[in-house]
């Protein structure tokens, strides 16, 4: 989407310092000076790692038509340059103001998605389905924070009918601020768990924070919840809009409106029976059924037929690093490295336990971060779950690796088959001694643990060292943790 300098100044309450022929010219907004060209406005954002004001000169050198800068920076700088400037009190707040202004001017239905897990999968699945009937915009990549949400909404144009916007948070109040920008008509709370509990101040605070989306939905709107979760009642009580609950509860006691009566993993396809219809999607793991339920519930509410919904599900592509099945000559990897939480780890272990294999089942787990005082207990619980799941080996890495192993051993797991490691090199050396042809290996950990290094090592070994030669891991090539 493109905006004129006059539009930007009006929407943000900024001051247009210099006016010329570009005042009403449509310009693209960029936040990276390397992308600046003659048809762009460089927006100098002050992030956690970089201050965009340091790159104003670079943006001008690359041909930017104008720059949006803070009043504080402008007061200490020489703006006698051959381009226009818009001065604002705060560039990030101004970006949010412009995004909210752009969202208001189009008659688009915005769907806001938040939750402790499953946001991205639900976003992608819903986009695939709704795109069958509507011109649909979605958040790109992980654009779900104070920077990403405004940048997503700035892409809205007159041709869009629906926008699927992911809303993330690491503290109370953030969902409320993001929802104020996005002004969602429909909300989805995928679920609440221990993810980021340390940052929020406990699981109860996580529930309160995610419930801020419920408060943001107008009375004419729609809120979707997982009725299988105890937190659903608390979320429903915070909204005046219509509430639809999805889940797996059946029978007279079920309070769910959209129910999965059967969930079957058929090879690489997940089949979810809802009413009289079996919906099929390319996904490995029963936990993906929740995203299917949300997609079906909203699509039906948007007057889509089940045939249209299935056509959309057919276009859903599995997201890298989220229970992604990767077949190598020597083994099969369940790549779930993108991130981790207790709930997501439990679900991934279920995939490892339920998938057929000719070899061993090996769990390789990195720390689940940001769990605060619950960290040790949550990691022990993972060990208990693994011990009860028919897994052959557990290799744990990180600060809480010993808790995973302790939980498994206390639950009856063979101590010789569960090892805790501080350094990645140690884990890989152990893996090289136990690996056999045809093994099924789950690799999962929080994003900051960089468990994809294990995947890279497995791929390299698959190409260079046939199983049986027992390759030795090299410290220099794998790094440490």
Whose CA is closest to 350, among 281, 265, 409, 450?
Answer: 265
Give the C-alpha separation, 47 to 233, whole Å.
37
Give the C-alpha separation, 457 to 479, whole Å.
11
Region 208-236: mean pLDDT is 96
| pLDDT tens digits along 42-101 | 999 988 788 999 999 999 999 999 999 999 999 998 777 778 999 999 999 999 999 999
> Is the pLDDT reported for residue 22 higher than 70?
no
**Residue 49 Ramachandran class (φ > 0 left, ψ -120 to 50 alpha, else beta):** alpha
Following DSSP, what letter does each residue of 399-424 receive, concatenated? Answer: TTHHHHHHHHHHTT--GGGEEEESSH
> Is the pLDDT reported for residue 481 higher than 60?
no
Q: Which domains does the chain have, with CATH numbers?
A: 2-90 (3.40.1390.10), 106-314 (3.40.1190.10), 324-478 (3.90.190.20)
pLDDT of residue 272: 98
pLDDT of residue 270: 97
**183-187, 274-278, 316-320, 441-445: range with lowest mean pLDDT:** 316-320
Of the CA atoms within 13 Å of residue 405, those in its CB half-sphere come to 21
Give the C-alpha separation, 57 to 317, whole Å.
41
Q: How far is CA 341 from CA 146, 195, 293, 374, in A?
A: 22, 5, 21, 12
Please provide the average confidence, as pLDDT, over all residues in the chain.
Answer: 92
pLDDT of residue 170: 81
Which of the two residues, 31 and 47, has the higher pLDDT score?
Answer: 31
> Is the pLDDT reported for residue 476 higher than 80?
no
- Residue 308: pLDDT band (50, 70, 90) is very high
pLDDT of residue 260: 96
3-class SS letters over 345-358: HHHHHHHHHHCCCC
pLDDT of residue 195: 61
What is the share, in percent, of the chain residues with pLDDT greater than 70? 93
- Residue 434: pLDDT band (50, 70, 90) is very high
- Residue 478: pLDDT band (50, 70, 90) is very low
Following DSSP, what letter does each residue of 422-480 receive, concatenated? Answer: SSHHHHHHHHHHH--TTEEEEEE--GGG-THHHHHHHHHHHHHS-TTS-PPP-HHHH--
Whose CA is closest to 459, among 340, 353, 337?
Answer: 337
Give the predicted TM-score (pTM) of the model.
Answer: 0.88
- Residue 474: pLDDT band (50, 70, 90) is very low
Region 198-217: mean pLDDT is 86
Beta bridge partners of 186: 111, 222
- Residue 469: pLDDT band (50, 70, 90) is very low
| Whole-angstrom Cα Rg for the chain | 25
pLDDT of residue 19: 67
Beta bridge partners of 85: 67
Give the C-alpha separation, 296 to 314, whole Å.
13
Q: Please, what's the largest Cα pairwise distance for the chain? A: 76
Q: What are phi and psi of 264, to 5 degrees?
A: -130, 130
Region 324-345: mean pLDDT is 94
Beta bridge partners of 42: 30, 67
Burial readout 287-298 (b: 16 or more C-beta within 10 A, e: otherwise) = bbbbbbbbbbbb
- The CA-CA-CA angle for residues 452, 458, 460, to 5°, reads 105
Beta bridge partners of 280: 271
Q: How far is CA 375 from CA 193, 198, 372, 413, 451, in A?
A: 13, 9, 6, 21, 18
Whose CA is closest to 149, among 161, 141, 158, 157?
Answer: 141
C-beta of residue 378 within 8 angstroms of C-beta of residue 194:
yes
Residue 67's SS3 state is: strand
Give the C-alpha separation, 324 to 293, whole Å.
20
pLDDT of residue 20: 66
Of the CA atoms within 13 Å of residue 32, those in its CB half-sphere come to 3
Q: What are phi and psi of 356, to 5 degrees?
A: -70, 145
| pLDDT tens digits along 350-393 | 999 999 999 999 999 999 998 888 899 999 999 999 999 999 99
């Amino acid at each position: 989407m493109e905006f004129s300098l006059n539009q930007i100044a009006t929407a943000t309450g900024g001051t247009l310092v210099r006016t010329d022929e570009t005042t009403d010219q449509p310009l693209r907004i960029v936040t990276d000076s390397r992308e600046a060209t003659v048809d762009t406005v460089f927006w100098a954002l002050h992030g956690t790692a970089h201050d965009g004001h340091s790159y104003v000169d670079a943006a001008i050198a690359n041909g930017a038509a104008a720059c949006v800068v803070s009043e504080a920076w402008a007061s200490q700088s020489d703006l006698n340059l051959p381009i226009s400037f818009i001065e604002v009190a705060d560039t990030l707040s101004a970006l949010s103001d412009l995004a909210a202004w752009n969202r208001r001017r189009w008659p688009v239905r915005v769907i806001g998605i938040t939750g402790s897990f499953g946001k991205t999968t639900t976003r992608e699945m819903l986009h695939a389905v709704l795109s069958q009937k509507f011109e649909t915009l979605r958040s790109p990549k992980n654009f779900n924070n104070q920077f990403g949400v405004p940048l997503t909404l700035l892409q809205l144009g007159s041709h869009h009918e629906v926008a699927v916007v992911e809303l993330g948070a690491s503290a109370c109040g953030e969902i409320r601020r993001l929802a104020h920008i996005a002004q969602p008509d429909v909300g989805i709370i995928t679920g609440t768990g221990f993810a980021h509990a340390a940052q929020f101040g406990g699981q109860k605070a996580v529930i309160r924070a995610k419930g801020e989306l419920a408060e943001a939905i107008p009375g004419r709107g729609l809120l979707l919840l997982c009725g299988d979760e105890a937190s659903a009642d608390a979320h429903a009580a915070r909204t005046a809009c219509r509430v639809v609950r999805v889940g797996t509860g059946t029978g007279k006691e079920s309070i769910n409106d959209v129910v999965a009566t059967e969930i079957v993993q058929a090879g690489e396809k997940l089949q979810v029976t809802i009413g009289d219809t079996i919906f099929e999607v390319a996904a490995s793991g029963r936990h993906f059924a929740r995203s299917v339920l949300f997609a079906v519930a909203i699509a039906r509410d948007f007057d889509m037929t089940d045939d249209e919904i299935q056509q959309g599900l057919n276009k859903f592509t599995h997201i890298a690093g989220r229970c992604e099945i990767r077949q190598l000559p020597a083994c099969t990897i369940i790549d779930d490295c993108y991130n981790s939480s207790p709930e997501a780890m439990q679900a991934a272990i279920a995939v490892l336990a339920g998938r057929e294999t000719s070899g061993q089942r090996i769990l390789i787990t990195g720390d689940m971060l940001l769990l605060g005082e619950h960290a040790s207990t949550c990691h022990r619980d993972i060990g208990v779950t693994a011990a009860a799941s028919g897994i052959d080996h557990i290799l744990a890495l990180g600060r809480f690796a010993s808790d995973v192993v302790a939980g498994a051993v206390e639950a009856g797991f063979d101590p010789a088959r569960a090892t805790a490691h501080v350094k990645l090199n140690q884990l890989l050396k152990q893996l090289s001694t136990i690996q056999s042809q045809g093994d099924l290996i789950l690799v999962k950990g929080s994003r900051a643990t960089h468990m994809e290094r294990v995947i890279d090592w497995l791929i390299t070994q698959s190409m260079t060292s046939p199983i049986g030669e027992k390759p030795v891991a090299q410290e220099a090539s794998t790094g440490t943790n």
